[in-house]
């Protein structure tokens, strides 16, 4: 199906481009969200008549998004989650969780603007892209921790998992020592 793009769509094209897309993508995403029109003669004429108005509106939204990106770029947000000793989360951090963490600090981000490249399923710091406009993005940092104290330590660059790893190593050494002592005692008694 061919459509006329009413705004820039990432990995697809610029405003005014006539592109061929799968019918489901057009019907379920592009058309309902007013990002495109079906490419027929009537819509092409209507688009050309409204082109200047659409470009002006797009420019205004882009300026607003650039101003918001300057305020947002480089900010860090903390998400508190339960996790195992190895640092794996019981669940994952979703786009909704990130939007709520930003809202708690007074920053309005819609969850549809958050771009996750991979699921966030472990403790630590992660950089994420926020798409404020099809042509403007900002980068934020998400600090996933078990407590506020742990989040502060991670922000300073400390590895909070190293203590758990050291504790696991100490337990392994103690178990090995205990096994050797038990075996020596059994040989002595025999």
Give the CATH number of the domain where residue 9 resides. Answer: 3.40.5.10
Assess whether 13 and 77 both reside in one domain.
no
- The answer to whether position 179 is within a domain reads no
Assess whether 45 and 104 both reside in one domain.
no
- The answer to whether position 50 is within a domain reads yes
The tally of domains found in the chain comes to 2
Predicted confidence at residue 164, as pLDDT, reads 53
Show the domain range for 158. 73-163
* Positions of the chain with pLDDT lower than 70, given as ranges: 162-175, 177-186, 190
The pLDDT tens digits of the residues spanning 99-108 come to: 999 999 888 8
Assess whether 58 and 132 both reside in one domain.
no
Predicted confidence at residue 186, as pLDDT, reads 66
In the numeric block, which tokens belong to residue 158? 């400390």
Predicted confidence at residue 121, as pLDDT, reads 92
Assess whether 89 and 26 both reside in one domain.
no
In the numeric block, which tokens belong to residue 96? 């909704």
- The answer to whether position 188 is within a domain reads no
Using the Cα atoms of residue 161, residue 162, residue 167 and residue 173 in order, give the sign of their dihedral. positive
Predicted confidence at residue 145, as pLDDT, reads 92
Assess whether 22 and 90 both reside in one domain.
no
Predicted confidence at residue 169, as pLDDT, reads 62
Assess whether 60 and 92 both reside in one domain.
no
Write the DSSP assignment of 125-137 as a string of letters. Answer: EEEEEEEEETTEE
Assess whether 59 and 77 both reside in one domain.
no
Assess whether 98 and 158 both reside in one domain.
yes
List the helix and strand counts (H, then E) for the chain.
Answer: 5, 9
- The answer to whether position 135 is within a domain reads yes
Assess whether 127 and 45 both reside in one domain.
no
Its pTM surpasses 0.85: no
Q: Which residues contact 35 (CB under 8 A, 6 or more apart)?
A: 5, 6, 7, 9, 29
Assess whether 122 and 141 both reside in one domain.
yes
């Amino acid at each position: 199906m061919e459509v006329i793009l009413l705004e820039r769509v990432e990995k697809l094209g610029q405003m005014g481009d006539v592109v061929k897309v799968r019918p489901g993508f057009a019907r379920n995403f592009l058309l309902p969200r007013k990002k495109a029109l079906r490419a027929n003669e009537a819509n092409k004429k209507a688009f050309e008549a409204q082109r200047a108005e659409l470009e002006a509106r797009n420019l205004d939204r882009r300026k607003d998004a650039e101003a918001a990106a300057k305020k947002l770029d480089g900010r860090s947000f903390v998400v508190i989650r339960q996790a195992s000793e190895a640092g794996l989360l019981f669940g994952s951090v979703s786009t909704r969780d990130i939007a709520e963490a930003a809202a708690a600090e007074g920053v309005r981000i819609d969850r549809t603007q958050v771009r996750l490249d991979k699921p966030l399923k472990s403790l630590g710091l992660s950089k994420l892209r926020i798409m404020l406009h099809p042509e403007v993005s900002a980068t934020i940092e998400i600090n996933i921790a078990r407590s506020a104290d742990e989040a502060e330590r991670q922000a300073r660059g400390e590895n909070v998992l190293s203590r758990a790893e050291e504790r696991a190593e100490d337990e392994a050494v103690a178990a090995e020592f205990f096994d050797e002592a038990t075996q020596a005692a059994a040989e002595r008694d025999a």
